[in-house]
């Protein structure tokens, strides 16, 4: 074997002890004082390299941050949910004394919008089941929402408290939104063959 | 076990040397047992695993990116991903290569996000990104030897620096590094050869007797 190339001496000493190339180099160095000196010199260089490594200390703040991200505490979420529910209860409780949130009127509006949605969704499901059209959940949601919207438009002339923002938001806007979600969830189930 | 165990680590010997002194088998077995307990829902095991591995992972990120705050963010992201993927850990498998695989992905994702690169860019293109680390020649002569050695490592192309870090300081084999980085073992070996040759040139003046 020829002498070890100096430019690769650091690599040779850095290789795993079981590495064939390293073993070959050391076997040669055992017979060659010059190459043995070269390897010794680069072993010292490698030690110098190794000595610069230190694991980075982790600050208590960082450790706590990671712990919280991985295992978030439950109580802040429960408190937040409680705050929202309490706030909603206060709004609804305060408004319940007026006609704006009267349950009867709200139920009437919700039923009207749902009634508008039932027939198109039913027809869509029937056509889909018959293979005449292909509707996915978003398709059903669109039909239900659009039909609910038509109901909402109809209510502009038939709802006794239509001008009240809270009533309109809760029983007109949110009901149309809920109808869309329900249509998307239930429509495909109607179409799917029963087990 | 308190997560605060991770704090205030004294300077430790490099990964490979540590393995030789402490014994890699016992350490690896401990980490595997901790990982198994963590996967089973033991929060104390997570804390112990964090204490054992976070300082090394943070050192990996600091080696890759000179910004300490960013390195800490990446460490946090790594453990979030570890937590999300913990049930995919194969019981009994070495823990560190698995952790470093996730850390390496986090690092590359950050580089791609930072430089708005496509997900298909390879290490050659990542090496071409601007690197703020000063080279060994830019470090003042009066700086201590450690600083000059660190500067020599930091001056390596990113793809070589990562290989040297994982090989020399984490004691991973070229095969394990290949698995971590998603590269072939032969390619990793070539990178290591180039890196050590460059380091040899950079460190040679420090080996002279008058230094």
Residue B78: Cβ within 10 Å count: 25
Two tokens, residue B5: 């165990």
The beta-carbon neighbor of B145 closest among A7, A48, A63 is A48
Whole-number pLDDT of residue B154:
87
Q: What is the DSSP letter of B92?
A: T
Is this model's pTM higher than 0.80 or not? Answer: no
Two tokens, residue A41: 């010199």
Whole-number pLDDT of residue A116:
93
CB B149 to CB A48 under 8 A?
Answer: yes
**Tens digit of each residue's pLDDT (9 = 90 or more) over A102-127:** 667 888 899 999 999 999 999 988 88
Task: From chain B, pick out residues whose CB is under 8 angstroms from the CB of A73.
Answer: none
The mean predicted confidence, pLDDT, of chain B is: 79
Instruction: Please tell me the least confidently modeled range out of A41-50, A114-123, B115-124.
Output: B115-124
Cβ-count burial of A132 within 10 angstroms (0-12 exposed, 13-18 middle, 19+ buried)?
A: exposed
Is the CB of residue A37 less than 8 Å away from at least one CB of chain B? Answer: no
Whole-number pLDDT of residue B79:
96
Residue A108: Cβ within 10 Å count: 16
**Tens digit of each residue's pLDDT (9 = 90 or more) over B20-36:** 434 455 566 688 999 99
Instruction: Please tell me the least confidently modeled range out of A26-30, A100-104, B45-49, B61-65.
Output: A100-104
Distant-in-sequence, close-in-space partners of A157: CB < 8 Å, separation ≥ 6: none
Q: Cβ distance A63 to B54 under 8 Å?
A: yes
**Tens digit of each residue's pLDDT (9 = 90 or more) over B127-147:** 666 555 555 555 555 557 788
Indicate the Cα dihedral angle B184, B57, B138, A9, nearest 10°.
-50
The beta-carbon neighbor of A60 closest among B4, B15, B75 is B4
Is the CB of residue A195 less than 8 Å away from at least one CB of chain B? Answer: no
Average pLDDT over residues B56-60: 93
Phi-psi region of A71 (alpha: psi -120 to 50; beta: other; left: phi over 0): beta
CB A48 to CB B200 under 8 A?
Answer: no
Average pLDDT over residues B108-135: 67
Rounded CA gap, A23 and B77, in Å? 41
Cβ-count burial of A20 within 10 angstroms (0-12 exposed, 13-18 middle, 19+ buried)?
A: exposed
Which residue in chain A is spatially nearest to B75 when comparing CA positions? A66
The beta-carbon neighbor of B168 closest among A44, A50, A59 is A50
Rounded CA gap, A57 and A32, in Å? 44
CB B3 to CB A56 under 8 A?
Answer: no
| Dihedral sign (CA A119, A122, A128, A132) | negative
Whole-number pLDDT of residue B38:
94
Is the CB of residue A102 less than 8 Å away from at least one CB of chain B? Answer: no
Whole-number pLDDT of residue A90:
65
Percent of chain B with pLDDT over 90: 44
């Amino acid at each position: 074997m020829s002498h070890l190339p100096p430019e690769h001496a650091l690599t040779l000493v850095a290789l795993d002890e079981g590495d064939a190339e390293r073993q070959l180099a050391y076997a040669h160095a055992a017979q060659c004082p010059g190459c043995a000196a070269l390897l010794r010199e680069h072993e010292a260089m490698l030690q110098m390299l190794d000595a610069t490594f230190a694991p980075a200390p982790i600050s208590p703040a960082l450790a706590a941050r990671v712990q919280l991200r991985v295992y978030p505490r439950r109580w802040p979420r429960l408190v937040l949910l409680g705050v929202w529910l309490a706030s909603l209860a206060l709004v609804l409780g305060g408004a319940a004394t007026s006609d704006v949130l009267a349950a009867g009127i709200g139920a009437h509006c919700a039923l009207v919008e749902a009634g508008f949605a039932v027939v198109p969704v039913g027809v869509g499901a029937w056509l889909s089941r018959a293979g005449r059209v292909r509707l996915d959940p978003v398709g059903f949601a669109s039909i239900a929402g659009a039909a609910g919207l038509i109901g909402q438009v109809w209510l502009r002339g038939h709802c006794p408290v239509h001008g009240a923002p809270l009533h309109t938001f809760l029983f007109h806007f949110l009901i149309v939104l809920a109808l869309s979600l329900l249509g998307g969830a239930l429509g495909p189930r109607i179409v799917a063959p029963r087990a | 076990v308190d997560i605060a165990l991770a704090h205030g680590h004294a300077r430790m010997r490099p990964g490979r040397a540590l393995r030789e002194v402490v014994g890699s088998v016992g350490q690896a077995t401990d980490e595997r047992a901790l990982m198994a307990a963590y996967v089973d829902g033991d929060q104390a095991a997570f804390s112990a695993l964090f204490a054992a591995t976070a300082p090394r992972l943070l050192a990996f990120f600091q080696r890759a990116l000179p910004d300490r705050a960013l390195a800490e963010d990446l460490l946090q992201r790594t453990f979030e991903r570890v937590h999300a993927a913990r049930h995919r850990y194969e019981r009994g498998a070495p823990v560190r290569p698995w952790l470093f695989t996730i850390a390496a992905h986090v690092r590359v994702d950050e580089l791609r996000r930072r430089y708005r690169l496509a997900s298909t860019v390879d290490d050659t293109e990542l090496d071409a990104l601007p690197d703020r680390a000063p080279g060994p020649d830019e470090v003042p002569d009066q700086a201590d030897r450690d600083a000059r050695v660190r500067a020599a490592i930091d001056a390596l192309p990113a793809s070589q620096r990562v290989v040297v870090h994982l090989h020399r300081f984490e004691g991973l084999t070229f095969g394990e590094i290949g698995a971590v980085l998603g590269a072939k073992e032969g390619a990793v070996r070539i990178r290591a050869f180039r890196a050590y040759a460059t380091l040899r040139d950079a460190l040679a003046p420090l080996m002279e007797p008058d230094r």
